[in-house]
Structure 1
């Protein structure tokens, strides 16, 4: 009986473990350049939090990774897929910003330098444990044994050649206080992080919309050939930038007008979605979230002291 129970335990665990395989399918988007494209969905136990695009560049000196994903499991499977495909070791990691789907795979890469902007490192140290706890609640056991591992190196704006690839770190803001974009001048590939979304509504928990819109203008001015957004399909034009800009402009105008007219949060959350954005994934959900993130400050700014009776 004991022997049967022991065997059943191991069989059960093996089946259970197999359920936690992410669909790691690197797509080549340019010479030496690959993207593992996530789903345009909300976090769920079904997708394991795999809603983000991560990427890697194969250089003569080794592989450069852009974002490590949502969990320890993701980071391990990402690294295994990279090394199997390329036959090379990872030599550097860049983290685009401090949201959990982009950095919680870091513990897989503690043997290589992990670069991020100082504001990103600060954000991970301040909010990483909260993010990790929230991810456990949303995606469950996909997160098992995930530990918050902050980046180890400060990324600085400027160009650096790694293995014959001229890489430029762009230190930006808007989506968060520290948004790193990586532009490979050798191939023309721009990794924008969550400064750009493609047919997926932008998220705003740490956003400053005016700054973000200015940042999008600077990204559009770059002479890139391929754009890898933080979420959504890879593109060969500026259309995702234009779409993200249009959505943020609509969101900003909607929230400002609503505050000026004294609408409450529930009323604003029911704002009809314009036809231009109705096909954008999760737009209604993100509108509701953005109202909760951004509207209280706008309401406060529009409060005026009541006139005293004479």
Structure 2
């Protein structure tokens, strides 16, 4: 079920890695940000949006990982935007994204995976400020809706995921720290943070999320094992080791 977290901003969370599908009202209609995850989630999101009674005018993907590249016919044949880098990477790796989607979730319309269009310079129907950076994935962005006090962070600032460095690209530790600095500046204009995975943060929790990610990265940089409660989840052992290797 959609939960309204700010004026014209709703979130629906999936059981799969606590993934957040985000609905944003723009001037022209609704924009679906990172809808997912499995077929039932996509269908139920469509039901929720139908009840809002506002047309969907666009989709938006925060970065080119398969779980952020999904769509459903019920959302309509509308543009699905991303940064030019994200759109290019998603197109090149489309078959891989489709295979990962098929292996990880059920009843996903695979023919609609990763069909992205570069976002026009004026932002088109996507409201807010696009904050592009190089952490986690190429062409990754956050969206700042300053007038509504909302920061949509993509796969950053989660209470369930540690920072996930991209092992295929050098300099990710520095890139991630730079991205956190940019998100910290944006967070000065927000009192609601929506991560791609995990719970929505409000008020002082925004600063706490930033501090937790900085502490994790600082420990990596010192060659220490971070004392991070998120690492109590056994399934993060592999990604954490990958981070250690990349740092």
> Is 1:202 paired with 2:163?
yes
> Is 1:32 paired with 2:46?
no
> Size of the alignment, in residue pairs?
239
Match for residue 239 of structure 2? 289
Match for residue 216 of structure 2? 247
Uncovered stretches (5+) of structure 2, i.e. residues with no partner = none
Q: Distance in 1 between matches of 2:191 and 2:220?
A: 29
Q: Distance in 2 between matches of 1:127 and 1:282?
A: 32
Deviations 1:142-196 (A, max 9, x none): 1354225334421257667x5xx95111222211111121111220111010122
Uncovered stretches (5+) of structure 1, i.e. residues with no partner = 1-24, 40-48, 258-270, 299-310
> Is 1:184 paired with 2:150?
no
Q: TM-score, normalised by structure 1?
A: 0.67
Deviations 1:4-43 (A, max 9, x none): xxxxxxxxxxxxxxxxxxxxx111111111111234xxxx
> Is 1:128 paired with 2:110?
no
Match for residue 128 of structure 2? 167
Deviations 1:257-292 (A, max 9, x none): 7xxxxxxxxxxxxx6x62xx13x2665432423434
Match for residue 119 of structure 1? 85
Counterpart pick for 2:107 among 140, 143, 153: 143
Q: Distance in 1 between matches of 2:11 and 2:235?
A: 26
Does structure 2 conserve the Cα–Cα contact (< 8 Å) formed by 1:58 and 1:64?
A: yes
Q: Distance in 2 between matches of 1:171 and 1:92?
A: 19
Q: Distance in 1 between matches of 2:181 and 2:24?
A: 25
SS in 1 for 2:196: strand
Greater RCO structure (CA 8 Å; 6+ sep): 2
> Is 1:214 paired with 2:178?
yes
Q: Distance in 2 between matches of 1:159 and 1:240?
A: 28
Match for residue 200 of structure 2? 234
1:159–1:104 distance in 2 versus 1, CA, 3 Å: closer
Measured on the aligned residues, the alpha-carbon RMSD in Å equals 2.8
1:249–1:286 distance in 2 versus 1, CA, 3 Å: farther
Q: Distance in 2 between matches of 1:157 and 1:93?
A: 16
Q: TM-score, normalised by structure 2?
A: 0.82
